[in-house]
Structure 1
Amino acid sequence: MPDDEAVVDQMIREYGDAKSALRALVGAHRTLEREYELTHAGISYGFSRGWHHGRR
C-alpha cells in the first residue's frame, strides 16, 4: 500500500490543488458512508457476529 505522502501528492497532481483534492476525498468518504449504512441495514446482527456495535 502506498504511503500517505505519495497518495496526497498524487491527488494534488490529479485535481490541481489541495482544496480540490480535499473536496474529492470528502465526496468519496460520503459515498462510502452511504454504502456502509446500506450494508449495515442489510446484514443481521447474528451474521456479523456482533461487529455492529450498539445494535440489537
Structure 2
Amino acid sequence: MNAISRQPEDEIDEALAYHQGDARATIAALLSEREFLLREIEYASLALSYGFARGWKPGRQTPAR
C-alpha cells in the first residue's frame, strides 16, 4: 500500500504498534522527529535565496483546525 492510499487510522495503529502500544512513547518519538525535520528545514532555508523561496521562512506554526 502506498502512502497516498493509507488512512490516518492505519498510520496511527502502525505507530502505536511500533512502540508496543505505549502512547507516550509514540508521541515523544513523533515530537522528536518533528523537531529534527524543523531543524532540517531551517538548515535548508539558509541555502535558499530569498527570491527562490519568495520570502518564505520556516516557522513553528500549528496547522489550522
TM bucket normalised to smaller:
0.7 to 0.9
Give unmatched runs, 5+ long, in structure 2: 58-65
Count of residue correspondences: 52
Between Structure 1 and Structure 2, the one with more helix by share is 1
| Residue equivalent to 1:21 | 26
**In the alignment, structure 1 residue 10 sits paired with structure 2 residue 14:** yes
Provide the identity percentage.
27
With structure 2 as the length reference, what TM-score do the two structures score?
0.71
Please identify runs of 4+ aligned residues in structure 1 that moved more than 2 A. none
C-alpha RMSD of the superposition: 1.3
Larger relative contact order (Cα-Cα within 8 Å, sequence gap ≥ 6): 2
